Chain A
Amino acid sequence: MTRRAEYGAAILLTAAAVAAMAWAAVRPGERLFAPVVDWTGAALGEVTGRFGGGNAQDRPDPDVSSQDVFGGDADRGAGLMVAHGCGACHTIPGVAGARGSVGPHLSGFADRAYVAGILPNEPGGLVRWLVDPPAHSPQTAMPDLGVTEAEARDMATYLYTLRGG
């Protein structure tokens, strides 16, 4: 190695040490490079969105009009299913922590013919079931979790995005 390369290496190491110190001294929570990170994230989202990427596999678009739920919001529904603890019993693709096997797995739910083997699998039947399961099936283990009708609409919207599981 030449003398010049050795100087270069020493300077690089020093610069790296100073950079590490500066980084360590930044209080957590301060986002030093926030503009760069946000811009890159937005740009990536733009690109993946345009080419049909994203989480299309987790949440395909509902394309069957008979399963359109009036006023439902799929993202809100996924959050509600976490809040009500649905995942303790059901495996639900795309819902955080939902890996239970006490009750049926809900992958491909939109393709089922019946809800709990009792009600027709269309928005009205599913919403009624989610609001009060024991009212329709007295022997069911699925509790009445105090789900409101509006909440049930959101959850149903999400469940009808699950196809072909």
Chain B
Amino acid sequence: MESALDLFGSQSALRPAGQGALEIFDLTVAMVVVFGVVFAGVMALVWVAWRRDRPAGDWWVWSGGVVLPLVAILALMAGSTAVLVASTRPAPEAMVVEVTGHQFWWDIVYDPEGVALRDANELVLPRGRPVTLRLASADVIHSFWVPSISGKADMIPGRVNTLTVTANEAGRFRGQCAEFCGLSHPRMAFEVVVLEPAAFDRWLAEVQGEATDAARPDLVDGREIFVEYGCPACHEVRGVAEGGRLGPDLTRVGARGSLGAGMWRMNQGNLAGWIADVGDMKPGAKMPSYNQLSGPELRAVSAWLASLR
């Protein structure tokens, strides 16, 4: 499987673009330096010990064997605990986003107590503002991980974990499920799109309504086929068919950067191939393949979906 990294931005804990990732990166560098110094010192002492004839006294054993490791490890533990506590504490003024893991996609609800905007497989964040993620799972254990933005947090059925993230850089970053969750676990990715704060506010206001272009006259056949073949049983398109929650919300599917949870570029060609043969593109996905659609029907429904924004 070709990597989608070059298509979908950065996925590297060594290229931090968020507050949590930066803290973890600094902690990693500090650990490498401290442990490196300790290691070099021990090697130097080994050299000294070899040159001496008599065995070392108790003082060396106690200070070098017990006190020094204890102090060093406790200091590093304090540092890493501080990073962990800071990243999991909900920020009181932060916007809440609910992210729920499914086999093998991500359900996303912005501000669940307020506008409750539902979307999927693409997380949009404002630059420089803390956002509290409420992480849950609908089936098995998943793990939410955007290495460039923050540390990872498990999504455990029956439990809600919180993770507060602050993105420091606008751009596109790739996230990936980090806990084996089934056949298509490696194909359960997503994109994080970090917008400037003003652009984020505009975006949030714009996408709350019904799907634009959902009733374009030249694409109306596609919408009818979508309804006729029962797609709304699982997929919601606001303004066309509401209530389907088993699969990703498709209200703005055509505006996403990727298809199939961060795996392919979003375009009509990939959409048509996906509908006709899901099992091939994402083994184990719950959506059945719709190759019972005739050629013209497949063309119409994929053109309509690609137009939804």
Contacts and interface: CB of A to CB of B under 8 A. Distances in A.
Contact of A138 (B276, B277, B291, B296): B296
Interface stretch (A19-27, A38-46, A48-56): A19-27
A88 B39 contact: no
Given A17-B43, A141-B295, A143-B299, A28 B15 contact: yes
Contacts of A104: none
Interface in A28-68: 28-29
B2 interface: yes
Contacts of A20: 32, 36
Contact of B267 (A13, A17, A84, A139): A84
Given A84-B269, A85-B264, A143 B302 contact: yes
B129 interface: no
Given A100-B273, A134-B299, A143-B302, A85 B268 contact: yes
A102 B40 CA distance: 59
Contacts of B308: none
A90 to B, nearest CB: 8
Nearest to B273: A88
Interface string B265-292: 1011111111011001100000000010
Given A29-B15, A141-B276, A6 B50 contact: yes
A113 interface: no
Nearest to B294: A139
Contacts of A25: 29, 32-33
Q: Give the bracket for the number of chain A residues in contact with chain B.
A: 35 or more
Interface residues of B, number: 39
B29 A24 contact: yes
B67 interface: no
Contacts of B276: 89, 102, 141
Given A25-B32, A85-B269, A89-B272, A141 B298 contact: yes
A7 B47 CA distance: 7
A97 B270 CA distance: 11
Interface in A121-144: 134, 138-144
Contacts of B44: 14
Residue in A24, A85, A97 with the greatest tally of chain B CB atoms within 10 Å? A85
B218 to A, nearest CB: 12
B303 interface: yes
Nearest to B31: A24
A145 interface: yes
A162 to B, nearest CB: 18
A28 B280 contact: no
B269 A88 contact: yes
A14 B269 contact: no
A134 B295 CA distance: 9
A10 B45 CA distance: 10
A99 B291 CA distance: 17
Contacts of B293: 141
Contacts of B40: 14, 17-18, 21
B61 interface: no
Given A21-B36, A28-B12, A83-B265, A7 B50 contact: yes
Closest 4 CB pairs of A and B: A88-B273, A85-B269, A85-B270, A141-B295
9 contacts: A10-B47, A13-B43, A14-B43, A21-B40, A24-B29, A25-B33, A96-B2, A142-B272, A142-B295
Interface of B: 1-2, 12, 14-15, 29, 32-33, 36, 39-40, 43-44, 46-47, 50, 264-265, 267-274, 276-277, 280-281, 291, 293-296, 298-299, 302-303
Given A89-B269, A141-B295, 7 more contacts: A21-B36, A28-B12, A87-B273, A100-B281, A102-B276, A139-B294, A143-B272
